[in-house]
Amino acid sequence: MTSDTSYDEIRPYRDFEFRQVMDKMLTSPMADFLISTVFPDVQVEDIKKQLRKIDKIGDFQKEIIYKAIMGVLAKTSAGFTKSGLANLDPNVAYLFVSNHRDIILDPSLLNTAIVEKGFDTAEVAIGDNLLATPWVKDLARLNKSFIVKRNLSVRELVVSSKLLSNYISETITEKKHSVWIAQREGRAKDGNDSTQSGLLNMLGMSATSSLKEHFLRLNIVPISISYEHDPCDMDKVRSLYAQKYFGGYTKEKNEDNDAMRKGIIGYKGKIHMHFGTPIRPDVEAMPDDLHKNEFIQRLSIIIDRQIIGNYKIQISNRIAYDILTNNPIAFNAYSDQEKETFVANMEKKINTLAGDKDDLRAIYLNMYARPYQNKLEMFGNNLP
């Protein structure tokens, strides 16, 4: 076991650190701004008084963060539904591996869902590129986030990945605490959910026995989250367009912070999260003598089948797919009015961007259609 001090630069804050960090944060103008944004109907000082009475991270999450997320959902969604949690045990630690659409909401919604069912909140992986300011970094670490370092040299990356792998493994297997991590670095801008082999290789770096035994202990549960509308869809379209025509895309200053803000305050329509089943039986069924690369490839497929199979197809996914494939409305999946509204909204957004409108429109439609297309390709007519 690695000593806890080895993780000091990446781990979340602990209860004994909460009061000192929170007191410092409450003196910042950022605190007033964020409180007034998240709790517009409550006096800032009233929230501050409540925060000064809290001295444990669990209470902070349940009394402040949970209420904040509920407030956001009430104003910016058409409802948040969940499924699959009945198959999981609140007393067992899991590694939740999720598809990734929104920087802040994906893990926040997971923790909201599991808290309502008596689970403790999970620790959450977050890239240090999203923690540019000390205040935001402190807030993330108070909210059980641990840090994934980005933009490292090859040598630094190996050392950092090994430390991260050890931390995740120990958190699950020794501390018996669940962890959330995205299936890939960064959001799936094109809507194509696939588990990166690099993630699984990183998780395997802490193995002290066979990879098979190691991943059995990690107790992976795939998570599928879908949003009817993506508040950052046009940012993703612009990025994908630049990659296609200019060979790459350079983020503007504060773009990540802006994406976090849009994801929170932008309209998302219907949201659904499905908790898959632990993949332990599938891992147990794998041959013991597989080469590492083959093992990782099969593991990726196992996770992808659940994430894609359990993804709740939204009306926006069906409409986009049908437009691309010139399919008529089928099975009463949506109405003419819903299609007209989708198209009008798309055209309004596309007209705000510079570039070839047909290409921009195709990128937009493919982004929304891809989850449905992936289901069809993986399961054919026997859609789960």
CATH code of residue 200? 3.40.1130
Q: Are residues 284 and 374 in the same domain?
A: no
DSSP state of 100: -
What pLDDT is attached to residue 34?
85
Give the model confidence (pLDDT) of 270-326 as tens digits. Answer: 999 999 999 999 999 999 999 999 999 999 999 999 999 999 999 999 999 999 998
Among 372, 371, 296, 363, smallest CA distance to 327 is for 372
Q: Are residues 51 and 161 in the same domain?
A: yes
Q: Are residues 13 and 144 in the same domain?
A: yes
Q: Are residues 116 and 84 in the same domain?
A: yes
Name the phi and psi angles at 180, rounded to 5: -110, 135
> In terms of residue numbers, what domain contains 330?
315-379
What count of other Cβ atoms lies within 10 Å of the Cβ of residue 260? 17
Average pLDDT over residues 339-346: 96
Q: Are residues 270 and 359 in the same domain?
A: no
Does residue 3 have a pLDDT over 70?
Answer: no
What pLDDT is attached to residue 329?
60
Q: Are 185 and 59 in contact (CB under 8 A)?
A: no
Q: Are residues 72 and 220 in the same domain?
A: yes
Q: Are residues 223 and 320 in the same domain?
A: no
Question: Would residue 246 count as lying in a domain?
Answer: no
Query: Is the model more confident about 140 or about 380?
Result: 140
pLDDT band at 130 (very low <50, low <70, confident <90, very high): confident
Give the model confidence (pLDDT) of 98-111 as tens digits. Answer: 999 888 899 999 99
Give the model confidence (pLDDT) of 253-277 as tens digits. Answer: 777 777 788 888 899 999 999 999 9
Average pLDDT over residues 113-136: 92
Residues 212 and 323: their CA atoms lie apart, in Å, by: 43
Residues 211 and 220: their CA atoms lie apart, in Å, by: 13
Question: Would residue 239 count as lying in a domain?
Answer: no
Domain-ending residue, one of 290, 309, 328: 309
Flag the least confident range among 199-213, 241-255, 362-376. Answer: 241-255
Question: Would residue 244 count as lying in a domain?
Answer: no
Question: Would residue 247 count as lying in a domain?
Answer: no
Question: Would residue 240 count as lying in a domain?
Answer: no
Strands 220-227 and 179-182: unpaired
Query: Is the model more confident about 246 or about 72?
Result: 72
Question: Would residue 241 count as lying in a domain?
Answer: no
Question: Would residue 238 count as lying in a domain?
Answer: no
Give the chain's domain count: 2
Q: Are residues 173 and 70 in the same domain?
A: yes
Q: Are residues 374 and 257 in the same domain?
A: no
Distances (CA, A) of 376 to 54, 98, 384: 49, 20, 10
Question: Would residue 237 count as lying in a domain?
Answer: no
pLDDT band at 137 (very low <50, low <70, confident <90, very high): very high
Instruction: Enter the pTM of the model.
Output: 0.93
Domain-ending residue, one of 285, 309, 333: 309
DSSP character string of 57-78: HHHHIIIIIHHHHHHHHHHH-S
Residues 157 and 151: their CA atoms lie apart, in Å, by: 8
Structure-block tokens of residue 22:
């929170």
Name the phi and psi angles at 56, rounded to 5: -130, 140
Among 86, 109, 124, 120, smallest CA distance to 276 is for 86
Q: Are residues 278 and 340 in the same domain?
A: no
DSSP state of 274: E
Q: Are residues 63 and 201 in the same domain?
A: yes
What are the DSSP E strand ranges found in the chain? 80-83, 95-98, 123-127, 145-148, 179-182, 220-227, 271-275
Q: Are 21 and 142 in contact (CB under 8 A)?
A: yes
Residues 164 and 158: their CA atoms lie apart, in Å, by: 10
Q: Are residues 296 and 351 in the same domain?
A: no
Residues 191 and 366: their CA atoms lie apart, in Å, by: 8
